Structure 1
Amino acid sequence: MSRFGEFFARGRSALLAGQATYDRPPAEGSRRWGAAAVLRPSGAVLDRLVELAGELRPVVGPGHWVHGPDALHVTLRSLEPYREDVTDRRVYGAALEEAMRGLPPVRVELRGVAGHHGGVLVWATPADETLATLQKRFAHALGEKGAFESWTRDIWYVSLVHFAAPVVRPEAIVGWCEERADLTVGVAELSRAEIVRAVHTGGGVRLVTLERAECGP
């Protein structure tokens, strides 16, 4: 079974077993939704992701965080617990700029929709070694500042929805994902990385850019 297939099967089982988990609005010091380095899709790929999230809204029901264009992203690395004042933003930005320097755009194929205990996502498969190289270079440039997230990410995705209320129709969510398990969204070419912080909007989150870095010379 492929890595995506294993993830899909585990997520399906968790949802049908009533094991969903729920996000809450970020609070000072919480480990979720702190400052992060992300890559944001754009163009036709972003439009398709927004469309998919919109299709999913009536399936998951009310109270959940259905993401729009200001929240859809691939996380490169989480950097710290949630804080309204990100005091190290320039340190993070300098490390990101160093890591991006000289690299070509990151290319990922977005294909396959899966539910899991915390929401619904689109699987992202790197087209080459650029994303892994960026990940290693960013970790090196961060040094001790990167200790908050000490593991190495080995799966990549774009979240369409985070559950933020009881999941009352898990079978419908699983069925919707099964119909799209092999859906091709497109190849995202990600030429810019950002340091962002999350802002709770009342009905979800949006990501505010603090620093940015472009690939290339």
Structure 2
Amino acid sequence: MSDFAEFRARGRAALLAGQATHDVPFADGGTRWGTTAAFRPQQQIAERMAELSATVSAPGHWVHGAGTLHVTLRTLERYRTHIPQDDPLCRAYGSALAEAVAGLPPARVRLAGVHPHPGGVVVGAHPEDDTLDTIRKRFAHVLETRGIRDVERGRVRDRWYVSLVHFAAPLTNAGELVAWCDAHADADFGTAELRTAEIVQFVHTGGGVRVNSLERAVLGEGGGAPPRPHS
């Protein structure tokens, strides 16, 4: 995985040059915010990140709370507003995810550094072992062998991160936001043990984003766990 120095420099430059992008409320068939395989950091670390993000001046944008913060493993499909409780495709994703994590310990990831980019603000996720990358490769392989085609079509992510803010409107205070990121560039939230991989649905709440858990697989416990209801 790449470090964040170049990513940060490009992000600062883009925002200061007025090149910010922004998301819009979700719509069926959209290429953003579709059903995703992800990890959510344990509550204590997520709350530390959310406490910091609550101090940013980002009116009109999606500043994420602790329950929304996540590390994306893979985006699986275009956006669907309604996903039935027993959706067969989500069940297939969950089964593939359980197979991918089977026999693996929790992934240890240090969450540190606040970085601006054209679409928002992220915290860098720095793996301390090979577990996350192993799961990424395994999951892609299992999906392929089962004939499940996801929207990433073989994309290999070159860095991991947690998004604190997504811009949801034209950015009007780029200088202020970049200065805030600079002030927290060395923030260290600690090492998260990512114990549960989830298939999740993102829901636009009007002023932000909520995460619904559709399926899950637990690391360090033989890999599988029963699906849980939407939350």
Give the superposed CA RMSD: 1.1
Q: Deviations over 1:143-202 (max 9, x none)?
A: 132441120112100000000012111011111111111111110101001001111100
Name the amino acid aligned to 1:160.
L
Match of 1:179 among 178, 183, 186: 183
Contact 2:115–2:181 under 8 Å retained in 1: yes
Where does residue 170 of structure 1 map in the other structure? Answer: 174
Distance 1:200 1:124 in 2: 25
Structure 1: which amino acid aligns with 2:81?
A: E
Aligned length: 213
How big is the shift at 1:84? 2.2
TM-score scaled by length of structure 2? 0.89
Question: In the TM superposition, what are the counterparts of 1:107-186 in structure 2 within 5 Å?
Answer: 107-143=108-144, 144-150=147-153, 151-186=155-190
Distance in 2 between the 1:15 and 1:63 partners?
Answer: 17
- Structure 1: stretches of 5+ with no match in the other structure: none
- Report if aligned partners of 2:46, 2:67 keep a CA contact under 8 Å in 1: no
Contact in 2 for aligned 1:124/1:158 (Cα 8 Å): yes
Is the contact made by 1:139 and 1:146 (CA closer than 8 Å) also made in structure 2?
Answer: no
Q: Which residue of 2 aligns with 1:65?
A: 62
Whether 1:199 aligns to 2:200 is no
Q: Which amino acid aligns with 1:145?
A: I
**Cα distance in structure 2, aligned partners of 1:93 and 1:5:** 35
Higher helix share: 1
Distance 1:105 1:146, change over 3 A: farther
Match of 2:75 in 1: 78
Deviating runs (4+, > 2 A) in structure 1? 84-87
> Secondary structure of the equivalent of 1:171?
helix
Query: Which secondary structure state, in structure 1, belongs to the residue aligned with residue 148 of structure 2?
Result: helix
Quick one: distance in 2 between partners of 1:23 and 1:96?
Answer: 28
Letter in 2 for 1:17: A
Give the equivalent residue in structure 2 for 1:39.
Answer: 39
Maintained 8 Å contact 2:75/2:150: no
How much identity, in percent, do the aligned residues show? 56
CA separation in 2, counterparts of 1:76 and 1:52? 24
Letter in 2 for 1:32: R
1:115 maps to amino acid: P
The residue identity in structure 2 corresponding to 1:210 is L
Corresponding position of 1:103: 104
Q: Report the TM-score when normalising by structure 1.
A: 0.95
**Matching residue of 1:53:** 53
- The answer as to whether partners of 2:40 and 2:196 remain within 8 angstroms in 1 is yes
User: Following the alignment from structure 2 to structure 1, what is the Cα–Cα distance between the partners of residues 123 and 22?
Assistant: 19
Structure 2 spans left out of the alignment, 5+ residues: 223-231
Report if aligned partners of 2:202, 2:210 keep a CA contact under 8 Å in 1.
yes
